[in-house]
Structure 1
Amino acid sequence: MGNREDLLAGAKRCLFEKGYGRTTARDIASAAGVSLAAIGYHFGSKEALLNAAMMEATRDWGEAVDSAILTDPDGTVTPEERFAVTWERVGETFVEFRGLWAAQFEAIAQIDRTPELKEALGGVQRMARLALSAMFQGVKEVPDTEDELLLGTFYQALLAGYAVQWLLDPAQAPSGRDFLRGLELAAGRVLGRPPVVV
């Protein structure tokens, strides 16, 4: 690896261990095994490096989720089973990526003071929503339509809430079956349909 790659790896490690706001340029340089000047040379600033590391770590999480998604070569998995199992597997990724989620929430709390990060995170919203819609349908991609975006937005809202609950207390975070039952209850009450008895 070169200095740039070492800096990204060091910044990701610092994000996971120290968070977004508490990571210093010296922390990153030390973790990367490079000089402080290398940060400015390759990224311009510590913030730009942390933002790049955050985006790369988010892509890493997406790849981890993709590899954990339920495959169904025989077409025997029901949509309900897929929904529940997908949430279970998403939750399993929180163990490895706990630091990323904590750093993301910390960074979002400061988003108005970090316009570069706001732009970067905002710029991937559409792609993230379409990816979530595809993930819960068990397909690689979905068409870029308003319905798929709305479905992805719904999943994104659930994902953010799930991450918060898991960070606060993994033992109290919902299971995949809890998500499914909650969806049944909400649909019954919002749409006036009696919930399925389980």
Structure 2
Amino acid sequence: MPRGGGTREQILGTAMRLFVEQGYDKTSLREIAEAVGVTKAALYYHFRTKDELVSSALAEYRDAVAEIVAWLRATPPSLERNEGFVDRMTELMASDGGLALRFGQANPTLAEREEFGTTHVDAVRSLVEALVGPDPDADAAIRGTMAFGALVIGALGNAVLPIPGGPEPGAAAGRTVALEVLAPLADRLHG
């Protein structure tokens, strides 16, 4: 997600926060410009539409996930690799990258649109495949998916059952559960 402190990055981060807090349909480009402290013309210089904002944020999320996937593929399975994966994902979710995940939770109808929804599904599939291999058995596939889910729920919360204590204890619990779920795979996949 947004890196650095440039106007484009500020617009993108602010827009995604507003889309999560207020909803995509209830947030106008004017509100985004005002929240960033730029004119609407300055915002248009970087992004013409709200869809462009979301597409750009999801592209940055996809790129960040691709970096993690490349690292996973280049690193042999081990407990240390599991920790590296969990730490990289936790860092992504704690950054503005987590806004791309929250966007789908806050705007489920929009997240179902092919352009937006498939970005997340494809990212999860590529992460799990890189984590457990291209032809996992049922146990490995479920463990990889559960580890990702534990990290997401821990870091971002869950609308059905809010995580007690807020983001920090949730992220810590998600990390612990993800590592426990992945532990049996380290030796099995490496051998």
TM-score bracket, normalised by the shorter chain, equals: 0.5 to 0.7
Who is 2:40 aligned against?
35
Kindly tell me: are residues 34 and 68 of structure 1, through their superposed partners in 2, closer, same or farther at Cα, counting changes over 3 Å? farther
Written as runs of structure 1 = structure 2, the 5 A alignment for 1:41-60 is 43=48, 45-46=49-50, 48-60=51-63
* Larger Cα-atom Rg: 1
Amino acid in the other structure paired with 1:171: P
1:119 aligns with 2:123: no
Number of the residue aligned with 2:106? 106
Report the 3-state secondary structure (helix = DSSP H, G, I; strand = E; otherwise coil) of the residue aligned with 1:23.
coil
- 1:100-156 CA-to-partner distances (Å, cap 9, x unmatched) read 43333212x3x2xx37x621134333464124422x26xxxx7xx6x36x8678635
Write the distance in 2 (CA, Å) between the matches of 1:35 and 1:89: 35
Paired amino acid for 2:102: A
Structure 1 spans left out of the alignment, 5+ residues: 1-5, 188-198
Aligned residues: 162
Tell me if structure 1 keeps the 8 A contact 2:68–2:127: no
Residue aligned with 1:19, SS: helix
How far does the alpha carbon of each residue in 1:41-82 deviate from its partner, in whole angstroms, 9 at most, with x for none? x64x43x2343133134235426646986965xx6xx52332
Q: Is 1:172 the equivalent of 2:175?
A: no
Query: Which residue type is aligned with residue 40 of structure 2?
Result: S
Counterpart-to-counterpart distance in 2, 1:62 and 1:119 = 19
- Tell me how far apart the structure 2 counterparts of residues 38 and 92 of structure 1 sit (CA, whole Å): 28
Equivalent positions of 1:89-104 (< 5 A) are 89-97=88-96, 98-104=98-104
Query: How far 1:93 moved relative to its partner?
Result: 2.5
Q: Supply the distance in 1 between the matched residues of 2:43 and 2:11 (Cα, whole angstroms).
A: 13
TM-score normalised to structure 2 length: 0.57
- 1:60-79 to 2 correspondences below 5 Å: 60-62=63-65, 65=68, 72=75, 79=78
Identity of aligned residues (%): 14
User: Structure 1 residues 36 and 161, CA, compared in 2 at 3 Å: closer, same or farther?
Assistant: farther
**How far, CA to CA, are the matches of 1:86 and 1:95 in structure 2?**
14
C-alpha distance in structure 2 between counterparts of 1:83 and 1:58, whole Å: 21
> Which structure has more RCO (C-alpha within 8 Å, separation ≥ 6)?
2
Give the root-mean-square deviation of aligned CA atoms.
4.4
Amino acid corresponding to residue 55 of structure 1 in structure 2? L
TM-score, scaled to structure 1: 0.55
Measured after TM superposition, the shift of residue 12 of structure 1 is 1.8
Does residue 133 (structure 1) correspond to residue 129 (structure 2)? The answer is yes
Give the aligned partner of residue 189 of structure 2.
none
Q: State whether residues 11 and 49 of structure 1, in contact with CA within 8 Å, keep that contact through their aligned partners in structure 2.
A: no
Paired residue type of 1:119: E
